[in-house]
Amino acid sequence: MTTYIYTHPACFEHLTPPGHPECPARLKAVLQALKDERFTSLEWQMAPAASWQQLRLVHTQSHIDSIATAIPKTDFAFLDPDTVVSRGSLQAALHAVGSACAAVEATLSGKADNAFCAIRPPGHHAEPNRAMGFCLFNNVAIAARYALEQFKLDRVAIVDFDVHHGNGTQAAFASEPKVFYASTHQVPLYPGTGLAEETGVGNLVNVPLPPGTDGKKFRQEVERKILPALEAFCPQMLLVSAGFDAHADDPLAALLLTEKDFAWISAQLVTFNLPLVSCLEGGYNLAALAKSVAAHVEALASSSSMAK
């Protein structure tokens, strides 16, 4: 039993214009961090490409077709002012989704205790019929639906600590009582969703945080609002939208977390002793991203070692 790391070279081929924050250098920084000698116990896996059937677990056929037809032969095509595709974007997105589904299989079959998907593009803003916020397909949402349908689970939980609210994940499951979704995120900030009163069918816990929130307040809010609700839901599997743009050094937001705070919430989640799959979302300061991912994966790997 161990921690699996899923990635694929195709994820580097999702190109963005110069200056765009969601760039291949992000993934390079993450992979370099995970090659540190601290992580010799990790087992690296090649992420497969998702099937069209897996995409349809969450997305409409019209959305899937719109992404496929938007792929340019050269240069870039903008789906909105923030979201761009290049020649390699479709294959990158398919391997990102495929990594999440493969990680679900590995953890639920007992091959791994947990898994981290080092992939791009990210996914939690992608709604069933809309790409947005750098996201084409919703990696975590598809993985959750895959766990429900392929493995016949009754209760899957998603925890999202990206600084931006995962509007796409919420849209996918706001009326689905089998999926619990909890999110900490800065408000006000893009995409403008995730107010505390957005509770779905009692399965959503949104914890908006004002600009300037530090690690102490973040931990208090997680302990008071998310962890008890997560425990009460009694999930059979835990998925994580692991965005690291709440870091104090990140250029796109104004929360003041450090890698120690990401290590803390990661450790809290692994104490539930559940099959756990984490997927990379945001994080746009390369040094902060690398340190934060390392702290996150170290918490996952520590739980794997304890389980042996």
- The residues pairing with 140 across neighbouring beta strands, listed in sequence order, are none
Q: How many CA atoms lie within 13 A of 279 on its CB side?
A: 36
> Residue 162: which of 227, 83, 95, 252 has the closest Cα?
252
Distance CA 65, CA 293 (A): 33
- The catalytic residue positions are 125
Specify the DSSP element, H or E, that contains 239. Answer: strand 237-242
Dihedral angle of Cα 217, 193, 127, 3, to the nearest 10 degrees: 0
Which residue is listed with tokens 């250098």? 25
Distance CA 122, CA 92 (A): 10
Distance CA 188, CA 297 (A): 29
